Amino acid sequence: AQTVTQSQPEMSVQEAETVTLSCTYDTSESDYYLFWYKQPPSRQMILVIRQEAYKQQNATENRFSVNFQKAAKSFSLKISDSQLGDAAMYFCAYRSAQGGSEKLVFGKGTKLTVNP
Amino acid sequence: EPEVTQTPSHQVTQMGQEVILRCVPISNHLYFYWYRQILGQKVEFLVSFYNNEISEKSEIFDDQFSVERPDGSNFTLKIRSTKLEDSAMYFCASRDDRRTEAFFGQGTRLTVV
With cut-offs at 50, 70 and 90, classify the pLDDT of residue B46. very high
Alpha-carbon gap: B111 to the closest alpha carbon of chain A (Å): 15
- Is residue A27 packed enough to be buried (19+ CB in 10 Å), middle (13-18) or exposed (0-12)? middle
Residue A104: which of B102, B106, B107 has the nearest Cβ?
Answer: B102
The pLDDT of residue A101 is 82
Per-residue pLDDT band for B41 (boundaries 50, 70, 90) equals confident
Predicted local distance difference test score (pLDDT) of residue B98: 81
Closest residue of B to A103, CA-based? B45
pLDDT at B70 over 90: no
Provide, as residue numbers in chain A, all residues whose Cβ is less than 8 Å from the Cβ of B107: 43-45
What confidence score (pLDDT) does residue B40 get?
Answer: 84
- List all residues of chain A from 4 to 43 with a beta carbon under 8 Å from chain B: 33, 35, 37, 42-43
Identify the pLDDT of residue B73: 86
pLDDT in tens, A41-94: 888 889 999 999 999 899 999 999 999 999 999 999 999 999 999 999 999 999
- Return d(Cα A65, Cα A62) in angstroms, integer: 8
> From the CA of B35, how many Å to the nearest CA of chain A?
9
Rounded CA gap, A76 and B105, in Å?
Answer: 25
Instruction: Give the closest residue to A89 by CA, choosing from A4, A9, A2, A1.
Output: A9
Quote the pLDDT of residue B4: 94
Closest alpha carbon to B99 in A27, A39, A28, A95: A95
Of all residues in chain A, what percent carry a pLDDT higher than 70?
A: 99
Nearest of B67, B78, B69 to residue B24 by alpha carbon: B69
Q: List the single residue in A with minimal CA-CA distance to B109.
A: A43
The yes-or-no verdict on residue A100 having pLDDT over 80 is no
pLDDT at A1: 81
Distance, CA of B14 to CA of B29 (rounded, Å): 34
As a whole-number percent, the residues of chain A with pLDDT over 90 amount to 87
pLDDT band for position B23 (cuts 50, 70, 90): very high
Q: Which long-range contacts (CB under 8 A, 24 or more apart) does A40-44 make?
A: A40/A85, A40/A87, A40/A88, A40/A89, A41/A88, A42/B106, A43/B37, A43/B89, A43/B106, A43/B107, A43/B109, A44/B104, A44/B105, A44/B106, A44/B107
How many whole angstroms separate alpha carbon A56 and alpha carbon B28?
30
